[in-house]
């Protein structure tokens, strides 16, 4: 159930919203859409990929947060509110309606006692609400830029499917399907004029960010494996060997 | 003197002409760009193309991908739809519920195990314990029954989970290819009427003279002029080998029937329903159905045939009048003579059953493109090969089409009775049918060419779909029992997965029109 109303400094003067990450708030997602302007923040934590919208087949950018359905391996780290979370999650439970911000009053984040206020006693947006407004500004310009970026890369045949597999100590092999990344072979053979064009548009940097972010994939896999071993330890009551 | 082959002239601009132009031009793109090779297509500004060839074979996917056209554009501009094979209704007994599928997917585990004996042995006298051969070995019959598409919107162009071909509007397909050939592949398009053909003393064609564009000289001429066979037949005098003694259908009545509502469900396969003196095709494009009765005029009258067609269509038929198209089963005695090679209807045609016409165009064009003679000196060697292969292909297609008729148990009309007359059955077909009483077609069969039009799997689907029985020794299946059981299990699992994941045929086509398929 959703009940979306425009944000109003009178009506929502005392309203509090919990900005913390939690599975109970729907943050338990293994893949989250992002926009290209987030790439510099994302690449140090998450592998960035292209994937297709299940309903339209259209490409978008996203970060991988876990391996299994509903698994987000970053929830604990996200307790630190300074740790970068994709804007698409940061903005919940708010919506943008044109230049205005709206809020889903039915969302479990809303009305939480120890949450954050949206307005100061003088009716000014709090730092929290300001961060939401900035997030929407970034998202609305970012979405368009992301679409242009993807369209140009498709034209240049720079997007290719990637086959990623990870094997964990629970003996189950995870095959990551539906992920796409940069075709580096094609990239390396682009004519100089095209390389210059990509550089001028700022796309070349984004491409490099995406390639660099792939290093986060094995990090994510180790995170997952550590969790599996922790679970096993809990069950068996013995110490599991450290994982590298 | 070694005369290099550098200039190809294609006469005729229907599906055959433009497919051939595209396949040759794409294969020799580097030479065309360097200005050392050319493909010219000349077509009359006012000849209407026959344009009822609306069913393709899955080879079309790789052909189009190689030519470099976008599949999304094909769906949008040619009114194309998915085809996952054929359903043959009332061919065996003529009963209301008599039907089987010839799907496009190979039986599960086909390269490891022949499932035919296992299917025949299972269930003591009730093969497959009641499951049809098709359902025993592949999901595709059930996908067709459910009206599902062979892929999802997230599959890239030309990719899919189930194998597929297309139903398309042939009248839109030729101009669609033409645009791509001219704009992207450097094919020269000449709109002019061919008035005369000039031969050299050697018999080679030197040029075709046109009313509007003067003479067009070439090193190799491709005759895609349709039934008129302007070059290969009229000019070079190559004879026609009639096959009407084997395949009786000689007339088609074709029309287009709109859907009652724009969102009416669409079958994703061709439906071929046997009638008193032939059969009716029924194929779904997004905007309309293409329906036609192909019959033997020796076995029925045009009036009765029109009546049959009208009864099949029902009330939607109203005031529509079907277009009559004469066909004549047969092919040229030779396909490549001197420096002229025939492709498409100019080379031959049997009947629309199993959509063999366009696939033969693709295979012929590919062979010409791949084996493009470097010079006139080696052309005769290539021509000999081409003739051998094409003669073989026509022979196998003839056998395969006839197979659908000889396996019938219908005796209700003279058409069906005459079709099982041994005198009408080609020797080679008769021989394999004798052989297949004791062993089922699989690998190591006669069908061993690199690019067989109808592979052994197709024979399996038709044979065991129509109730043909091969004797199987009890011990024969023991060695492969495990691998066969796994294949059957895999098929069940895959069928379940596909049935949950795949969208309805029309739903996916709508999405392709709205969002397009991605190139990767």
**Residue of chain B whose alpha carbon sits nearest to that of A178:** B154
SS3 sequence of B195-258: EEEEECCCCCEEEEEECCCEEEECCEEEECCHHHCHHHHHHCCCCEEECCCCCCCCEEEEEEEE
- Cα Dmax for chain A: 62
Decide if pLDDT at B15 tops 60: yes
Dist. CA B121–CA B80, nearest whole Å? 41
**Which of A57, A59, A154, A177 should one mutate to test binding to chain B, selecting the residue with the greatest count of B CBs within 10 A?**
A57
A194 pLDDT band (50/70/90 cuts)?
Answer: very high
Rounded to the nearest angstrom, the minimum Cα separation between B293 and chain A is 39
Q: Which range in A109-118, A128-137, A205-214 is most confidently predicted, on average pLDDT? A: A205-214
CB atoms within 10 A of CB B176: 20
Instruction: Identify the H or E element spanning B191.
Output: strand B188-191
> Which chain B residues are closer than 8 Å to A58 by Cβ?
515, 518
Decide if pLDDT at A99 tops 60: yes
**Side-chain half-sphere CA neighbours of B388 within 13 A:** 7
Among the partner residues A56, A157, A159, nearest to B511 by beta-carbon distance: A56
**Residue of chain B whose alpha carbon sits nearest to that of A55:** B153
B446 pLDDT band (50/70/90 cuts)?
Answer: low
Dist. CA B162–CA A95, nearest whole Å? 40
Rounded to the nearest angstrom, the minimum Cα separation between B514 and chain A is 8
Give the A:B interface size as CB pairs under 8 Å: 34
**Is the Cβ pair B153, A55 closer than 8 Å?**
yes
> Which chain B residues are closer than 8 Å to A56 by Cβ?
153, 511, 514-515
| pLDDT, position A237 | 44
Average pLDDT, chain A: 92
Instruction: Identify the H or E element spanning A51.
Output: strand A48-52
Rounded to the nearest angstrom, the minimum Cα separation between A31 and chain B is 16
**Is the Cβ pair A57, B517 closer than 8 Å?**
yes
A→B interface, C-beta within 8 Å: 52-59, 154, 157, 159-161, 178, 180
CA dihedral B141, B144, B148, B151 (to 10 degrees): 60
Annotated active-site residue in B48, B83, B159, B437? B83
B51 pLDDT band (50/70/90 cuts)?
Answer: low
Encode B74-109: b = buried (16+ Cβ within 10 Å), e = exposed. Answer: bbbbbbbbbbbbbbbbbbbbbeeebbbbbbbbbbbb
**Is the Cβ pair A58, B518 closer than 8 Å?**
yes
> Which chain A residues are closer than 8 Å to B514 by Cβ?
56
> Which chain B residues are closer than 8 Å to A154 by Cβ?
518-520
Angle at alpha carbon of residue A105, lines to A99 and A107, rounded to 5°: 110
Residue closest to A95 by CA, chosen among A110, A85, A80: A110
**Is the Cβ pair A154, B152 closer than 8 Å?**
no
| pLDDT, position B55 | 92
**Residue of chain B whose alpha carbon sits nearest to that of A155:** B519
DSSP states of B267-303: -SSEEEEE-SSEEEEEEE-SSEEEEEEEE-TTTS-HH
Rounded to the nearest angstrom, the minimum Cα separation between A154 and chain B is 7
User: What are the φ/ψ torsions at residue B418 (nearest 5 degrees)?
Assistant: -65, -30
Q: Is the Cβ–Cβ distance between A172 and A68 less than 8 Å?
A: no
Decide if pLDDT at A242 tops 60: no
Decide if pLDDT at A244 tops 60: no
Rounded to the nearest angstrom, the minimum Cα separation between A17 and chain B is 37
Q: Please report where in the chains the tokens 């050939």 appear, as a residue.
A: B181
Contacts of residue B302, Cβ cutoff 8 Å, sequence gap at least 6: B251, B253, B324
Q: Which whole-number Å values give the CA distances from B355 to A144, A169, B272, B328, in the listed order?
A: 45, 53, 11, 16
Phi-psi region of A202 (alpha: psi -120 to 50; beta: other; left: phi over 0): left
Decide if pLDDT at A97 tops 90: no
**Is the Cβ pair B154, A178 closer than 8 Å?**
yes
**Residue of chain B whose alpha carbon sits nearest to that of A59:** B518
Say which residue, A238 or A83, is predicted with more confidence.
A83
- The alpha carbon of residue B392 and the mean position of all alpha carbons in its chain are separated, in whole angstroms, by 16
> Which chain B residues are closer than 8 Å to A59 by Cβ?
518
| pLDDT, position B474 | 87
User: What are the φ/ψ torsions at residue A33 (nearest 5 degrees)?
Assistant: -65, 145
**Side-chain half-sphere CA neighbours of B189 within 13 A:** 20
| Helix B15-27 / helix B170-184 crossing angle, nearest 10 deg | 30
B320 pLDDT band (50/70/90 cuts)?
Answer: confident
Decide if pLDDT at B315 tops 90: no
Q: Is the dihedral of CA A34, A35, A36, A40 positive or negative?
A: negative
SS3 sequence of B160-180: CCCCCEEECCHHHHHHHHHHH
Q: Is B409 a catalytic residue?
A: no
Query: Could you tell me what percent of chain B has a pLDDT over 90?
Result: 90
Segment B64-121, tens digit of pLDDT: 999 999 999 999 999 999 999 999 999 999 999 999 999 999 999 999 999 999 999 9
> Which chain B residues are closer than 8 Å to A160 by Cβ?
520
B→A interface, C-beta within 8 Å: 152-155, 511, 514-520
Among the partner residues B153, B517, B520, nearest to A180 by beta-carbon distance: B520
Residue closest to B483 by CA, chosen among B491, B494, B473, B472: B491
Say which residue, B448 or B338, is predicted with more confidence.
B338
What length is written for chain A?
A: 244
Segment A7-27, tens digit of pLDDT: 988 899 999 999 999 999 999
| pLDDT, position A240 | 41
**Is the Cβ pair A154, B520 closer than 8 Å?**
yes
> Which chain B residues are closer than 8 Å to A147 by Cβ?
none
What is chain B's Cα-based Rg? 23
**Is the Cβ pair B518, A54 closer than 8 Å?**
no
**Is the Cβ pair A52, B519 closer than 8 Å?**
no
**Residue of chain B whose alpha carbon sits nearest to that of A51:** B154
Among the partner residues B155, B515, B520, nearest to A56 by beta-carbon distance: B515
**Is the Cβ pair B154, A52 closer than 8 Å?**
yes
Rounded to the nearest angstrom, the minimum Cα separation between B153 and chain A is 5
| pLDDT, position A235 | 56
Provide the pairing of β-strand B205-210 with B194-199: antiparallel
Which tokens hold the place of A53? 């919208």
B129 pLDDT band (50/70/90 cuts)?
Answer: confident
**Is the Cβ pair B153, A159 closer than 8 Å?**
no
User: What are the φ/ψ torsions at residue B343 (nearest 5 degrees)?
Assistant: -135, 140
Decide if pLDDT at A233 tops 90: no
**Is the Cβ pair B520, A57 closer than 8 Å?**
no
Helix, strand or coil, per DSSP, at residue B36: coil
> Which chain B residues are closer than 8 Å to A52 by Cβ?
153-154, 518
| pLDDT, position B280 | 98
| pLDDT, position B3 | 87
Tell me what the mean pLDDT of segment A27-45 comes to.
96
B359 pLDDT band (50/70/90 cuts)?
Answer: very high
- The alpha carbon of residue A73 and the mean position of all alpha carbons in its chain are separated, in whole angstroms, by 12
**Is the Cβ pair B520, A56 closer than 8 Å?**
no
| pLDDT, position A239 | 44
Average pLDDT, chain B: 95
Tell me what the mean pLDDT of segment B350-358 comes to.
93
SS3 sequence of A81-122: CCCCCCHHHHCCCEEEECCEEEEECCCCCECCCCCEECECCC
> Which chain A residues are closer than 8 Å to B519 by Cβ?
154, 157
Among the partner residues B511, B514, B520, nearest to A161 by beta-carbon distance: B520
Segment B23-40, tens digit of pLDDT: 999 999 999 999 999 999
Residue closest to B474 by CA, chosen among B122, B126, B130, B132: B122
Decide if pLDDT at B53 tops 70: no
Rounded to the nearest angstrom, the minimum Cα separation between A5 and chain B is 31
> Which chain B residues are closer than 8 Å to A179 by Cβ?
none
Segment B419-437, tens digit of pLDDT: 999 999 999 999 999 999 9
Phi-psi region of B158 (alpha: psi -120 to 50; beta: other; left: phi over 0): left
Among the partner residues B152, B516, B520, nearest to A159 by beta-carbon distance: B520
| pLDDT, position A172 | 86
Query: Could you tell me what percent of chain B has a pLDDT over 70?
Result: 98
Decide if pLDDT at A221 tops 70: yes
| pLDDT, position A17 | 95
Decide if pLDDT at B49 tops 70: no
Rounded to the nearest angstrom, the minimum Cα separation between B485 and chain A is 25
| pTM, 2 dp | 0.92
Dist. CA A182–CA A152, nearest whole Å? 12
């Amino acid at each position: 159930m959703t009940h979306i109303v425009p944000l109003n400094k009178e009506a929502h003067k005392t309203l509090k919203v919990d900005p913390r990450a939690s599975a109970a708030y729907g943050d338990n997602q293994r893949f989250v859409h992002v926009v290209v302007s987030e790439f510099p923040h994302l690449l140090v934590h998450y592998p960035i990929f292209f994937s297709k919208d299940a309903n339209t087949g259209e490409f978008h950018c996203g970060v991988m947060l876990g391996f299994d359905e509903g698994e987000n391996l970053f929830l604990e780290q996200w307790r630190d509110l300074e740790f970068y979370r994709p804007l698409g999650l940061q903005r919940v439970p708010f919506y943008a309606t044109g230049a205005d911000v709206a809020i889903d009053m039915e969302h479990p984040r809303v009305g939480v006692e120890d949450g954050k206020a949206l307005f100061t006693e003088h009716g000014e947006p709090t730092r929290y609400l300001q961060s939401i407004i900035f997030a929407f500004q970034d998202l609305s310009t970012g979405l368009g830029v992301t679409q242009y970026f993807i369209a140009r890369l498709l034209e240049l045949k720079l997007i290719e499917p990637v086959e990623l597999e990870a094997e964990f100590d629970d003996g189950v092999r995870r095959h990551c399907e539906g992920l796409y990344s940069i075709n580096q072979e094609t990239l390396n053979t682009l004519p100089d004029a095209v390389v210059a064009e990509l550089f001028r548009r700022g796309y070349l940097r984004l491409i490099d960010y995406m390639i660099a972010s792939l290093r986060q994939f094995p990090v994510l896999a180790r995170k997952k494996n550590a969790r599996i071993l922790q679970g096993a330890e809990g069950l068996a009551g013995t110490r599991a060997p450290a994982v590298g | 003197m070694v005369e290099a082959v550098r200039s190809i002239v294609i006469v005729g601009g229907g599906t055959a002409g433009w497919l051939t132009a595209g396949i040759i031009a794409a294969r020799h793109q580097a030479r065309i760009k360097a200005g050392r090779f050319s493909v010219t297509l000349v077509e009359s500004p006012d000849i209407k193309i026959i344009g009822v060839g609306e069913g393709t074979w899955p080879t079309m996917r790789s052909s189009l991908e190689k030519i470099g056209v976008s599949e999304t554009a094909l769906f949008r501009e040619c009114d194309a739809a998915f085809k996952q094979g054929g359903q043959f209704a009332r061919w065996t007994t003529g009963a209301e519920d008599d039907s089987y599928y010839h799907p496009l997917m190979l039986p599960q585990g086909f390269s490891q195990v022949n499932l035919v004996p296992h299917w025949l042995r299972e269930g003591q006298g009730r093969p497959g314990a009641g499951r049809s051969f098709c359902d025993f070995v592949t999901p595709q019959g059930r996908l067709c029954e459910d009206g599902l598409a062979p892929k999802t919107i997230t599959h890239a162009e030309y990719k899919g989970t189930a194998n597929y071909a297309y139903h398309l509007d042939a009248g839109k397909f030729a101009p669609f290819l033409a645009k791509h050939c001219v704009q992207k592949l450097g094919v020269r398009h000449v709109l002019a009427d061919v008035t005369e053909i000039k031969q050299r003393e050697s018999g080679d064609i030197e040029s075709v003279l046109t009313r509007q564009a003067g003479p067009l000289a070439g090193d190799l001429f491709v005759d895609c002029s349709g039934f008129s066979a302007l070059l290969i037949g009229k000019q070079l005098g190559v004879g026609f080998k009639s096959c009407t003694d084997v395949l009786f259908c000689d007339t088609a009545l074709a029309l287009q029937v709109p859907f009652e509502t724009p969102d009416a469900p669409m079958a994703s396969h061709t439906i071929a329903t046997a009638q008193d003196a032939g059969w009716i095709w029924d194929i779904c494009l997004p905007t309309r159905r293409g329906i036609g009765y192909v019959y033997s005029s020796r076995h029925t009258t045009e009036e009765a045939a029109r009546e049959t067609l009208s009864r099949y269509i029902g009330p939607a038929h109203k005031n529509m009048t079907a277009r009559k198209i004469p066909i004549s089963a047969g092919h040229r005695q030779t396909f490549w003579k001197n420096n002229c090679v025939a492709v498409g209807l100019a080379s031959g045609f049997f009947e629309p059953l199993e959509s063999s016409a366009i696939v033969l165009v693709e295979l012929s064009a590919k062979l010409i493109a791949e084996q493009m003679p470097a010079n006139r000196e080696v052309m005769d060697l290539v021509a000999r090969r081409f003739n051998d292969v094409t003669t073989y292909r026509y022979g196998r297609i003839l056998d395969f089409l006839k197979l659908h008729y000889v396996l019938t148990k219908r005796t209700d009309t003279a058409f069906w009775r005459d079709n099982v007359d041994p005198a009408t059955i080609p020797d080679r077909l008769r021989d394999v049918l004798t052989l297949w009483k004791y062993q089922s077609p699989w690998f190591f069969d006669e069908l061993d060419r690199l690019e067989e039009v109808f592979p052994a799997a197709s024979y399996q689907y038709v044979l065991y779909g129509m109730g043909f029985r091969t004797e199987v020794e009890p011990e024969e299946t023991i060695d492969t029992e495990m691998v066969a059981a796994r294949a059957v299990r895999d098929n069940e699992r895959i069928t379940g997965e596909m049935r949950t994941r795949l969208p309805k045929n029309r739903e996916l086509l709508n999405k392709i029109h709205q969002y397009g398929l991605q190139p990767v």
